[in-house]
Structure 1
């Protein structure tokens, strides 16, 4: 819908526009969910996993819900027991906390770091960060700690505790978990978001009669892993290690800033970086309610960690969760010759560096970046609004010169912001009879036109419109129509000379009124993107004059009625 907000907010520019339609390129996507969160038209949707979950439950297989620890913020109106009851009513045989997997990962990671004297290490907990590194920073794959994520570690422990045939369903705030589940089908059978779970809970007939009466988390309740969803949660599960520097960064921009300068970090000992793709942590994931109180979210998460002794790590350490993140093909950015880029820039009207506005209306950070996107087939030239504005302006200027009727636009300060040569000629102002005449009167008060001052003043101040009003001024007979483009702010005057052989009393009137209504919405979009009323005027005039030219062509056709 010409807003390109998804592209502007996509950190990997993984959205392709073809024929004015957007599609996400999976190979480029890091599953951050920003496009879903920012799209005003709801054109981006998270893949639905409910049908798959229901199929697993209805198959009669043993099903386990692995629930992300941020559920206490998202479902704060439920106690733990009430939440477990709600899930068992949906048909799950066991309800378990993913936070247990987080505790396993913390234990293994801490033991791993204790054996390191120096180096930079990145947490494997956030699948979005791992995806970002694999695709765009492959040189730092070696820095990722060699362990499964909490979701995968938890799923592996559940399969070991129950049996390999048990079906594990992850429920959380994260879109990237869906992709991670796809990559590890032997551990996680499917993943759904909290929003999907709420939809499911609200469906009629969801009370499954086969549910268990057990209202305890399986196999036991988590503790320190519950604080993983907030920024710094993981590093706060570590015990004291004076030699280890622990830092946390959350949010795509912060994470990219860290990775862009990772090779410049200087520190004598080991550095552990907890990187999270969502600002503030998983409690702000794209699969949960964005209107929740962020302060209350953190309070809920912090209160879920108790001072009770948890299961010693040595009892969990027997589970092998080692893995590596090699073997993935990184994204290769296309390379184009300077001449090709310059030609692409020229195609969007950027013939010199001063033309490169870098306004970002297309969704890309710079005109050069956008030009490269057009070369790679990810973008279309008509996404450049400033380029479209120039085209519209040029077309309007040409048609304004040819149209026999006078056209003048006046703003709320009664200044002329557009006028054609026909208008100037029919009013008979000798000093203006030059090629650049229209430029000489732009931005001047309507008084200087010498005609119709009171009518334009009334139209602006009262919103009144004039329709085919006969007027005699300065010994000349005219027909004047004034239409509101933006009431009290911008009006268009159509002036015709009764004495002209080309006078047609109805064509401009009726066609202009229709065209204004049809093009108001499009013109407003362009005006909003550019922040200029001028663009509104250009688009409107272009439409009016194009429509008039088509009407005139019809009238001149051999079979056209002489009274058309």
Structure 2
């Protein structure tokens, strides 16, 4: 099996988990199981989409991110606000108010990710027009989508747009600009992204397409939001002129915004991880023809729907559209001195066969046959009571030696029924048992009756549980 080490932003707080199965039913990659009354996240299957955080009523699923005090670790810090940050505030009519508030918060400078998005839009349009052989090209701005393709849709890897996401381009340009402005060594400058989602936290630690990210820290929008509100009141009186992005860049924060930056109507845009998976499945089945570009966002509504935001994603979309209304179409163009390695991937994104059952093709086929046979034994209800999301997933877990057949409540019930019948027969015939020298028939019979009573109680309990579910 592949030895790739995975870093994940999403993690489980075991103290808060009560073993409900909401998360296993919603995880798009079947990365979660419930074992011994607690959820367990399978690292190599997780794509950090944050759906489990969104669905968990007990707040047991959480995301790693940095504390705002990270700005004290560097001599000079630059904030990288995501376009989705602007959509969190009511009645915002000037982006400069938010950017000025970030300076008041303690950052030395700001570099809008929206500004880098306009550069990426220009370069993406150029690449799409020059590479018809790779059509449809799939956006790589959402790390969860790229991770999903890498582990589940290997035939689509060649369609990935090999351009760094705007946050990475922004980080590289911001560092270069800060070094030039301050004369400080690059390592003394902290580049801090303000993120709407755990996916980009994971990207900063374990990037795709590059060896190392230029992002030094990631803050959650939900943590920054309450800090910015009072500072924005002060910033509103005299905002600094810091904005450098137009409609195209700011529009990246919502569904369809990236595609709008490419001058073509020959595109498809989908949001929400379940919709994304359906599009990728259809794409793999070659159901699309002559599409030039596909924009995919794992969060509903685009980045404004990330689980590290505070606003309803659909309200946030409306706010961002209103804010965008009076902006110029594009402000930032590709700098003439930008290097190819600042824009494009320098590392290949390779297929990771994490779902493969065996070490070899022959072993995998044998194990797949075992899975099919086991699967047929189960009721096909996909109830989740076993701790796996589907009956097939349980069969795969059994073949991987991570579960047992009796984890299925229906298999367990059938076994207890069988045991009850056997014990009934044994008790009824106990009178015929004799032991030389001593007669233990009475003791033996009493023991069997007690055992039979316990089994019958368990059998009744299982039937009661089933009746409760039926009700």
Task: Using structure 1 for the length normalisation, give the TM-score.
Answer: 0.61
Moved over 6 A (4+): 336-346, 391-402, 522-525
1:178 aligned residue: 201
1:531 aligned residue: 469
Contact 2:116–2:167 at 8 Å: present in 1 too? yes
1:75 aligned residue: 89
- Bigger helix fraction: 2
Contact 1:69–1:227 at 8 Å: present in 2 too? yes
Matches within 5 A, 1:87-486: 87-118=102-133, 119-163=135-179, 164-165=186-187, 166-184=189-207, 185-198=212-225, 215-216=239-240, 218=242, 220-239=244-263, 241=264, 245-265=266-286, 269=290, 271-289=292-310, 292-305=311-324, 306-308=326-328, 310-311=330-331, 313-315=333-335, 318-320=338-340, 321-323=343-345, 326=348, 328-332=350-354, 333-335=356-358, 353=377, 355-362=379-386, 364=388, 366-379=390-403, 383-387=407-411
**CA distance, structure 2, for counterparts of residue 95 and residue 393 of structure 1:** 68
1:395: how far off? 8.3
Q: 1:58 aligns with which of 69, 72, 88?
A: 72
Q: Structure with the greater relative contact order (CA < 8 A, sep ≥ 6): 1 or 2?
A: 2
Q: CA RMSD in A?
A: 4.0
Contact 2:82–2:195 at 8 Å: present in 1 too? yes
Classify 1:235/1:393 alpha carbon distance in 2 versus 1 (closer, same or farther; 3 Å): same
Contact 2:246–2:327 at 8 Å: present in 1 too? no
Deviations 1:223-271 (A, max 9, x none): 32111122111111223x4xx6111111222221222232443677452
Classify 1:249/1:396 alpha carbon distance in 2 versus 1 (closer, same or farther; 3 Å): same
1:31: how far off? 0.7
Q: Which deviates further from its counterpart, 226-235 or 360-369? A: 360-369
1:514 aligned residue: none
**CA distance, structure 2, for counterparts of residue 272 and residue 352 of structure 1:** 41
Contact 1:65–1:96 at 8 Å: present in 2 too? yes
Contact 2:282–2:288 at 8 Å: present in 1 too? no
Classify 1:313/1:365 alpha carbon distance in 2 versus 1 (closer, same or farther; 3 Å): same
Contact 1:36–1:42 at 8 Å: present in 2 too? yes
SS in 2 for 1:142: helix
Contact 2:113–2:167 at 8 Å: present in 1 too? yes
How many residues of Structure 1 are paired with residues of Structure 2 in the alignment?
400
SS in 1 for 2:270: strand
SS in 2 for 1:358: coil
2:63 aligned residue: 46
SS in 2 for 1:178: helix
Deviations 1:21-56 (A, max 9, x none): 333233221110111111222221111311xx413x
SS in 2 for 1:154: helix
**CA distance, structure 1, for counterparts of residue 145 and residue 323 of structure 2:** 26
Deviations 1:316-345 (A, max 9, x none): 683530115525351242146788678789
Deviations 1:510-554 (A, max 9, x none): xxxxxxxxxxxx9999569x6235xxxxxxxxxxxxxxxxxxxxx
The structure with more radius of gyration? 1
Deviations 1:121-170 (A, max 9, x none): 11111111111112222232221111100110111111122123421111
Classify 1:324/1:373 alpha carbon distance in 2 versus 1 (closer, same or farther; 3 Å): farther
1:383: how far off? 4.8
Classify 1:380/1:257 alpha carbon distance in 2 versus 1 (closer, same or farther; 3 Å): same
Deviations 1:4-28 (A, max 9, x none): 2222211112225444433323322
1:69: how far off? 0.7
Classify 1:97/1:340 alpha carbon distance in 2 versus 1 (closer, same or farther; 3 Å): closer
Task: Using structure 2 for the length normalisation, give the TM-score.
Answer: 0.72
Deviations 1:421-462 (A, max 9, x none): xxxxxxxxxxxxxxxxxxxxxxxxxxxxxxxxxxxxxxxxxx
**CA distance, structure 2, for counterparts of residue 156 and residue 133 of structure 1:** 26
Classify 1:265/1:86 alpha carbon distance in 2 versus 1 (closer, same or farther; 3 Å): same
Q: Which deviates further from its counterpart, 29-38 or 178-187? A: 178-187
**CA distance, structure 1, for counterparts of residue 402 and residue 226 of structure 2:** 34
Contact 1:6–1:35 at 8 Å: present in 2 too? yes
Contact 2:33–2:388 at 8 Å: present in 1 too? no
SS in 1 for 2:162: coil
